[in-house]
Amino acid sequence: MQDVFSFIEQNREMYIRWLQQICQQPSVAAQNRGMKETANMVEQFITQIGGESKQLETSGYPVVYGEFPGESEKTLSFYNHYDVQPEDPLDLWETPPFGAEIRDGRMYARGVADNKGNLMARLAAVHAYTQVRGKLPTRVKFIVEGEEEIGSVHLEEFVERYHDRIQADGCIWEFGYKNADGRPQVSLGVKGMCYVELVCRGANTDLHSANAAIIENPAWRLLWALNTLKTPDEKIQIKGFYDKVATLSDDDAGMLEQMIYNEESTLEKLGLKSFLLDLSGIPLKEKLIFQPTCTVCGLVSGYTGTGSKTVLPAEARVKLDFRLVPDQDPHEIFSLLRAHLDEHGFSDIEMEGFTLEHPARTPLNNPLTRAVVNTVKDIYGMEPTIMPMSPGTGPMYILCQNLGIPAVSVGVGNFASNNHAPNENVIIEDYIQGIKHMAAIFEEFAKEA
Amino acid sequence: MQDVFSFIEQNREMYIRWLQQICQQPSVAAQNRGMKETANMVEQFITQIGGESKQLETSGYPVVYGEFPGESEKTLSFYNHYDVQPEDPLDLWETPPFGAEIRDGRMYARGVADNKGNLMARLAAVHAYTQVRGKLPTRVKFIVEGEEEIGSVHLEEFVERYHDRIQADGCIWEFGYKNADGRPQVSLGVKGMCYVELVCRGANTDLHSANAAIIENPAWRLLWALNTLKTPDEKIQIKGFYDKVATLSDDDAGMLEQMIYNEESTLEKLGLKSFLLDLSGIPLKEKLIFQPTCTVCGLVSGYTGTGSKTVLPAEARVKLDFRLVPDQDPHEIFSLLRAHLDEHGFSDIEMEGFTLEHPARTPLNNPLTRAVVNTVKDIYGMEPTIMPMSPGTGPMYILCQNLGIPAVSVGVGNFASNNHAPNENVIIEDYIQGIKHMAAIFEEFAKEA
């Protein structure tokens, strides 16, 4: 691979410019800013490096699809997204969010880590490999959606409509990071999600709080309902919630054992003294990876400004995010939650579902995982840490697991990439290493049985 | 009194114009809009009708003080306020909030019910009485503050500084309403208040909610803390909270018995099927008047916009309003709450106190109460309903009870006056009746032993 690696080194400035170019193009799906321009730009990149590309229409933003021929019929696919999070709060950025300026070896831009850095590293790897060797060892497909940051709202429709285009022998998933100590993480799945909003209503208008002596307060009612959902020992009290949680296999236990999680640096960065329930070591990692959650993401009722206002609220709302693990089913969890509320006397509390996503996993022992893991050592000079599943969520079930496609996450992000936050960044050397790593994966995956 | 009543009738248009004039002058304390202009206007009204007036300075907005001589040394005082609530949400007003337009027998304006209607009715009564009879039967004092809507923040300072000016034999308190059936309410006290904000903090920044598996969520922690404060049977669980709640006297029980509370019309207006805990009758009235409360007035954490955002909040806040009854002490309740949180393992939750006000009561059997009650029948043609205490709060303890001054609330508001809300209004006939009632009270109070 030294020929390809040398080519990458010789062209590093060009690949850095590619990344700057796409990062300087805003693409905020939530605000419909620059979406068409960015989809066109991705399509052009694919075409310019020798692929066939097309924007596949959905009811939302199009998915940019690309295909490259290979020496074999074996197919490796890439799932990425061209949309980014909104850049606010603007005043916390040290350089403009769409400036893509380089400082101290890092490029700073909204979307550079999530997910344009990974997308461009993968395109650059295709470019370098084909320039040096003429043809890729396997066929390669790019599936670059435009709605990941708004919940992949039309991806299920896309999968149904373009079923054929998605088939592959393995898929490199959109994200990937290095640990605090610089060790690459390889992760083999994502948690599922059941994201709901609960609404409790009282009188038809906010009232003077003197009335609270005799008029029910929906904020208290919602608090009491929530209190039945999870106890301070973090046990979720919904009947049947844990029934389908898979027990850990020996492989899982082994992966947890080798998985490196930098406890001290995480606590220090977050200004915390300890993790939840004082966990550490294996139990901490097991909770992070293999346990479902029930998280209050948002809570609002009554007067929330500064100072005091004596109001009896008319309404209280909570946004709850359940992260699910195999083999929990988000639709079933949604129903169990409804049943729980009803059984506890809260049938008046209304429920709205926003995101229902299945968890997904890829086995440790499969050709793609082996190809990714085996190549890490050559490129990074150390073993990766393998996360059996990411604690995050994505549409991996509908794009991969449901179609029998193994999916592996690895990428150019770092421990302090600040995804979704000000000063999002990628370390330039990580980006160049990421290009080399992808090129090496092409070859290794082609060799794998 | 027919001479005075006739004078009032003959001059009704002028008194209505007085009310329009002051209502057309904004006086939003929270926004420092028109405060000086309104204080000057009140001072001028007092002077023009023959009183001596002065703006008594405090560290905040001045208190407009007025004095009128009387036939006897007996003194009746009026506590009112010239500030009003902010008028938003503007789009829900049918006519401009500072237009003071009259439609269908009502004047609509921000502050017309709370509290300018009462202030002007009392000034008009002084004017009418002195025009007809030459001199008032008792001395009369006006204490018109400018910060009632922002918590009477400098009133304690005022009381300390101008102690002498406040002394009186009885005080007519700022507010007063008619029931849904048109029957005047006379109330003999106010609840106290301990208004606090609790803050629970987690990591030093909002995080991706995937981290909630291992990082403590301050929203959950605050929910669990709140759950220890009050159970769904509405019992407040703070140790010692009820210790100083006075037991009902025979007078209290009697007043509850006669007190008319229009349950059906209240439920209908609020779109509710039942009151808290399905209460009705005497137990409902007892809870409203004689029981302390613990109310969530505001609750906020994480993402509260529309749609979903998967965030683990860095912070959660709640605003709590405890309405207190005799002989609870707001400072003691504040300490008991702190002790409760500490004992339940929530010593990290921070507490900020905003308003600490003592409850206050006036006995049923005193000259002022008798004067007010006896005159209602003549003016309104029916007996008043007597509320032993208002479920609301005000600085009655420091202005009256602490100085041995009985205080009685009666006024020109109605059941749907919409205080603090859009389309605040006073019924014109109630305003005219209120002027007559005050004039009658002068005479009756002078006669009382």
The rounded average pLDDT for each run of 10 residues, N- to C-terminus, in chain B (449 residues) is 97 98 96 96 98 97 98 96 90 95 98 98 98 97 95 93 95 95 94 96 92 97 98 97 96 92 93 98 97 97 87 96 97 98 98 90 94 95 94 95 97 92 95 98 92
What pLDDT score does A60 carry? Answer: 96
What residue type is B385 in one-letter code?
Answer: T
Percentage of residues of chain A with pLDDT beyond 70: 100
Whether residue A208 and residue B310 make contact (CB cut-off 8 A), yes or no, is no
| Same domain membership, residue B348 and residue B226 | yes
| Contacts B232 to A, Cβ<8 Å | 220, 224
Note whether B336 and B366 are same-domain residues.
no
Mark yes or no for CB contact B203/A317 under 8 Å.
no
Residue with tokens 């995080």: B207
Kindly state whether residue A280 falls inside one of the protein's structural domains: no
CB B320 within 8 A of CB B295: yes
Alpha-carbon separation of residue B78 from A227, B65, B401 (angstroms): 48, 10, 14
Nearest-Cα distance to chain A for B10, in Å, is 37
Q: How confident is the model at residue A30 (pLDDT cuts 50, 70, 90)?
A: confident
B423: CATH: 3.40.630.10
Give the model's pLDDT for residue A309. 84
Instruction: Centre a 10 Å sphere on the Cβ of residue B54 and count the other Cβ atoms it contains.
Output: 16
Q: What is the mean pLDDT of residues A318-339?
A: 97
pLDDT value of position B138: 97
Any domain includes B250: no
With 70 as the cut, is the pLDDT of residue A341 above it?
Answer: yes
Continuous segment of H or E residues that includes residue B127 = helix B117-133
Q: Which residues of A touch B193 (CB under 8 A)?
A: 310
What pLDDT shows up at residue B333? Answer: 98
Q: Which amino acid is at A420?
A: H
Nearest CB to B219; choose among A215, A296, A419: A296
- How high is the pLDDT of residue B448? 86
Per-residue pLDDT, A150: 85
- A326 plus A237 within the same structural domain: yes
Which structural domain range is residue A208 located in?
192-245+291-357
**Residue where one domain finishes, among candidates B357, B376, B400:** B357
Write out chain B residues lying below 8 Å of A418, CB-based. none
Query: How close is the nearest chain A Cα to the Cα of B348, in Å?
Result: 13
B210·A296 Cβ contact <8 A = no
Handedness of CA A29, A30, A31, A32 (dihedral sign): positive
State the average pLDDT over residues A324-328: 97
Q: Judge: A304–B298 Cβ closer than 8 Å, yes or no.
A: yes
B360's tokens: 């206050």
Tell me, yes or no, whether A234 and A89 share the same domain.
Answer: no
**Residue A244: is it exposed, middle or buried by C-beta count within 10 angstroms (0-12/13-18/19+)?**
middle
State which residue of chain B sits closest to A318, comparing Cα positions: B304
Rounded to a whole number, what is the distance in Å from the CA of B410 to chain A's nearest CA? 18
Confirm if B357 and B192 have CB atoms less than 8 A apart: yes
d(CA A146, CA A64): 8
**What pLDDT is recorded for position A151?**
81
Point out which residues pair with B109 in neighbouring strands.
none
Interface test with B, best of A214, A268, A301, A322 (most B CBs within 10 A): A214
Structure tokens at A295: 């998280």
E strand intervals along A136-251: 139-145, 170-173, 185-187, 189-201, 207-208
State the pLDDT at residue B321.
Answer: 95
State residue B449's pLDDT score: 65
d(CA B314, CA B309): 14
- Looking at the complex, report in whole angstroms how far the Cα of residue A253 sits from the nearest Cα belonging to chain B: 18
CB contact under 8 A, A215 and B317: no
**pLDDT for res A355:** 85
Q: How many CB pairs under 8 A join A and B?
A: 222
pLDDT for res A449 = 65
Q: CATH number for the domain including A234?
A: 3.30.70.360
Residue B59 lies in a domain: yes
Q: Which class for B446: exposed (0-12), middle (13-18), buried (19 or more C-beta within 10 A)?
A: middle
Alpha-helical segments (H) within B140-228: 155-161, 163-166, 218-227
| Of the candidates A384, A387, A388, the residue with the CA atom closest to the CA atom of residue A371 | A384
Please tell me the predicted confidence (pLDDT) of residue A448: 86
Q: Are B433 and B379 in contact (CB under 8 A)?
A: yes
Residue B273 lies inside a defined structural domain of this protein: no
Residue of B nearest to A285 (CA): B214
pLDDT at res. B271: 96
Of B332, B357, B382, which marks where a domain is finished?
B357
Report whether pLDDT(A310) > 90. Answer: no
B152 and B95 in a common domain: yes
* Strands (E) located in B294-397: 295-302, 311-312, 315-324, 350-357, 360-361, 385-387, 390-393
Question: Coil, strand, or helix at residue A43?
Answer: helix
User: Do A324 and A228 fall into the same domain?
Assistant: yes
With beta carbons less than 8 A apart as the criterion, state whether A192 and A401 touch.
Answer: no
A313 with A419, same domain: the answer is no
Q: What is the pLDDT of residue A113?
A: 97
The answer on B308 and B179 residing in a single domain is no
Partner-chain contact B297 A303, CB within 8 Å: yes
pLDDT-derived band of residue A117, with 50, 70 and 90 as boundaries?
Answer: very high
Interchain contact, A297 vs B287, CB within 8 Å = no
The pLDDT of residue B420 = 85
> Would you say A339 and A351 are in contact if contact means Cβ atoms under 8 Å apart?
no
Contacts of B421 in chain A (CB under 8 A): 205
Question: Is A345 among the domain residues?
Answer: yes
CB distance A276–B216 less than 8 Å?
A: yes
Q: Which of A203, A217, A270 sits opposite B204 (nearest CB)?
A: A270
B400-435: buried (b, 16+ CB within 10 Å) or exposed (e) per residue?
A: bbeeebbbbbbbbbbbbbbbbbbbbbbbbebbbbbb
Residue A394, both tokens: 């994505």
Identify which has the larger pLDDT, A421 or A300: A300
For chain A, what is the mean pLDDT? Answer: 95
Q: Give chain B's domain count.
A: 2
What is the interface pTM, i.e. ipTM, of the complex?
A: 0.90
Assess whether B219 and B236 both reside in one domain.
yes
In a shared domain, residues B106 and B178: yes
Is A263 part of a structural domain of the chain? Answer: no
Q: Are residues A332 and A441 in the same domain?
A: no
B214·A276 Cβ contact <8 A: yes
Is the residue at B260 inside a domain? no
Q: How far is A242 from chain B (nearest CA, A)?
A: 15
> How much is the CA Rg of chain B, to the nearest whole Å?
23
Do A206 and A173 belong to one domain? no
Rounded to a whole number, what is the distance in Å from the CA of A218 to chain B's nearest CA? 9
Which of B314, B335, B357 is the last residue before a domain boundary?
A: B357
